[in-house]
Amino acid sequence: MTLIDGKAISAKVKEEVKIAAAGLSAKGVTPGLAVILVGEDKASATYVASKEKACVACGINSYPYHLSAQTAETALLELIDELNADENVDGILVQLPLPKHIDTNKILEKIDPSKDVDGFHAVNVGRLVSGLEAFVPCTPLGIMRLLAEYGIATNGANAVVIGRSNIVGKPMANLLLNANSTVTITHSRTKNLAEICSQADILVAAIGKPNFVTPDMVKDGAVVIDVGINRLENGKLTGDVDFDAVAPKCSFITPVPGGVGPMTIAMLLQNTITSARNRLKRSK
């Protein structure tokens, strides 16, 4: 069994980003990422802080917008309009979840698709499904990079994704399909889940339930990717996979923490670089 080291691969991606950012800055295009946080949710504030810190460490300008929980939807839409028009901003990220009085879809659809570094805009979703160049959500994009780094073949592989969210499950399934896997998407209403999962060469768990994936759901020699981040009562972080019981059956497995998690921010930075490169091309 090989442990997939997301920390090491994310460090490699960040190093690539640093070099690319310096090259772009030398040509007068310093990459910039606007990060919008609405409200005081603690977990969101922590995520946003790590994203802003990672930008600065890699030579990307960070434009933080920390707004009160009472911010009106119209005010947020106006801010996005301003950022859409701002030449120095290559990426716009709105940290989710938003307060209940704000329509999340309306906000995400307001972001210019060419600055949608989270890949949540319907234009980018459609482009991904069509197999066109697109901004792809960072977590599944990071998983594809992990598979590539470890030489894990997707071509013809039987891939099963547990979870159908717009952030992880659906884009993950589309990326694997585009990479020639035979893909099954499963979810909370799926019948015979364990049986379906036990056929998988590549099993991706994105559920949000600790220790959900047990050894009976895993084929001998499978690649198991654990996206889950669950905080246990004792404060410990754990994934969706019963790691100790499942790991001995796997050819490759991601740990939690230190597997998929670190890749998400690294791919956000990479997407921002892609957008800045597009800006440079437009300016020529």
Alpha carbon distance 222, 34 (integer Å): 39
CA–centroid distance for 281 within its chain:
26
Nearest approach, Cβ of residue 138 and ligand NAD (Å): 7
The angle subtended at Cα 68 by Cα 38 and Cα 45, nearest 5°, is: 45
165 or 251, CB closer to ligand NAD? 165
Pairing relationship of beta strands 223-226 and 237-238 according to DSSP bridges: unpaired
Q: Cβ of residue 174: shortest distance to ligand NAD, in angstroms?
A: 14
Of 5, 14, 51, 115, catalytic: 51
The CB-of-169 to ligand NAD minimum distance in angstroms stands at 5
- 3-state DSSP helix/strand/coil % of the chain, to nearest 5: 45, 15, 40
Which token pair is 70?
A: 């009472």
Catalytic entry in 5, 90, 118, 226? 118
Q: How far is the CB of 239 from ligand NAD (least distance, A)?
A: 8
Tokens of 167: 């952030």
- Which CB atom, from 203 or from 260, has the smaller least distance to ligand NAD? 260
Closer by beta carbon to ligand NAD, 29 or else 253: 253
Give the residue with the Cβ less far from ligand NAD, 80 or 256: 256
Between residues 77 and 229, which has the closer beta carbon with respect to ligand NAD? 229
Q: Which residue is nearest to ligand NAD (CB)?
A: 165
Q: Which of 5, 14, 95, 226 is catalytic?
A: 95
* Active-site residue, 199 included: no
Q: Using CB under 6 A as the criterion, which residues of the chain lie in contact with ligand NAD when the complex forms?
A: 139, 162-165, 167-169, 186-188, 190, 193, 206-208, 227-230, 260-261, 264
Q: Is 270 a catalytic residue?
A: no
Spatial CA neighbour of 206 closest among 263, 247, 166, 257: 166
CB of 85 to ligand NAD, least distance (A): 30
CB of 226 to ligand NAD, least distance (A): 9
List CB contacts of 176: < 8 A, sequence separation 6 or more.
144, 154, 157, 159, 161, 183, 202, 204
Report how far residue 71's alpha carbon sits from residue 39's, in angstroms, rounded to the nearest whole number: 8
State the number of CA atoms in the 13 A half-sphere of 91 facing the CB: 34
Measured from the CB atom, the residue of 24 and 243 that comes closer to ligand NAD is 243
Q: Other CB atoms closer than 10 Å to residue 206's CB: what's the count?
A: 24
Count CB neighbours of 26 within 10 A.
9
Question: What is the Cα 204 distance to its own chain's centre?
Answer: 13
Active site amino acids: 51, 95, 118
